[in-house]
Structure 1
Amino acid sequence: MAGGKLSLSASSPRVDFHVDMGNPFLNRAADGFLTIGAVAVTKVVAEDTYHCLRKGSVSEHTLKETFKKMCKEGAYWGAVGGTYAGMEYSIRRIRDRNDWKNALLGGFITGALVSAASKKSRDEVVKGAITGGAVATAARFINHLG
C-alpha cells in the first residue's frame, strides 16, 4: 500500500488599515474597536442576508433594520474589543511583560466593566469578569499554538 501525505494551506485576505492617534494606547483601542466592530457588522450582514434569502424578498424596511443592527452591534462589540485591547496593552506596559497573564487580566477587567456598564447584579459582574478572563486567555493560547 502506498503512503501519502496531505497538506493544506489557507491564507486569508489582508487589509492593512492604520489609524494613528498619536498615542500607543489610543492606537490599540481604536484598532480593537475597528477590528471587532467589523466582525460584528459582518455577522449581522451574514445573518440578515440568510433571512432575506430564506424569505425570498428584501424590503426597504428590512434594509433599514439591518443597517440599525449593523450600527448597534458594531458599536457594542467594537467598544468591547477596544476596551480589551486598551486594557491588555496597559497591563503589558505596567507589568513590562508580554505573556498570557496580560490577556487574563485584560479580559477580566473588560468583562467586569461591560457587565457593570450593563447594570448587571454583582454576581453577573463577577461571572462576566471570569468569562472575559477565560475567553481572552484561551484565545491567547490558541493564537500561539501554531
Structure 2
Amino acid sequence: MPWSRMSGSVSSPTVDVVIDMGNPFLNLTVDGFLKIGAVAATRSVAEDTYHIIRKGSISSNDFEKTLKKMCKEGAYWGTIAGVYVGVEYGVERIRGTRDWKNAMVGGAVTGALVSAASNGKKDNIAVDAITGAAIATAAQFINYFI
C-alpha cells in the first residue's frame, strides 16, 4: 500500500531585546519586567482602543487617560514579573537545581510581597502567597508537558 509522509514547521518571527546588566540575576529580572510590562501595556491600549471605537470619538483627554493607564499597568505587571523571575532565579542558585519547587517558592514570595504592598492584611497575604505558589507551580507543570 503506497503512503507518503510530510513534515514541516511553522514559526513566527521573534523579537528579543537583551540588556546586559553584568549580572545574570539582574539580566533575568529586567528581562521579565520588560517583557511582561510590554504585554500589560499593549493589553491596556487594546482595551482602551476598543472602548474609544465603541464610543465613536476620541479626545485628548481619552488619549491622556490611555497613556497613563498604559504606563501604570506596564509598570505594575512588569514589577510583579521582575520580582517573580528574580526570586525564582535566586532560589535556583541557592538550591543548585532547576525544578518546580523554585517556581513554587518564587510564586509564594511574589504573591506575599504584592499582597503586603497592596493591602497588608495578614489573612490576605497568606492566601495570596498560596495562590501565587499554586499558579506558578501549575504554569511550570504545564510548560513541562507542552
CA 1:41–1:123 in 2, change beyond 3 Å: closer, same or farther?
same
Identity %: 62
Please report how far the alpha carbon of residue 12 of structure 1 lies from its aligned counterpart in structure 2 after TM superposition.
4.1
Please report how far the alpha carbon of residue 71 of structure 1 lies from its aligned counterpart in structure 2 after TM superposition.
0.6
Match of 1:3 in 2: none
Match of 2:19 in 1: 19
Match of 1:108 in 2: 108
CA distance in 1, matches of 2:10, 2:144: 17
Match of 2:128 in 1: 128
Aligned length in residues: 140
SS in 2 for 1:17: coil
CA distance in 1, matches of 2:25, 2:107: 16
Cα deviation 1:30-68 (Å, max 9, x = unaligned): 011001101110110110011011111111110100000
SS in 2 for 1:144: helix
- Aligned pairs for 1:57-72 (under 5 A) are 57-72=57-72
SS in 1 for 2:145: coil
TM-score, structure 1 normalization: 0.90
CA 1:10–1:111 in 2, change beyond 3 Å: closer, same or farther?
farther
- Aligned pairs for 1:1-80 (under 5 A) are 11-80=11-80
TM-score, structure 2 normalization: 0.90
CA distance in 1, matches of 2:10, 2:56: 33
Match of 1:87 in 2: 87
CA distance in 2, matches of 1:49, 1:13: 25
What is the RMSD of the two structures over their aligned residues, measured on CA atoms? Answer: 1.6
- Flag structure 1 segments of 5+ consecutive residues without an equivalent: 1-6
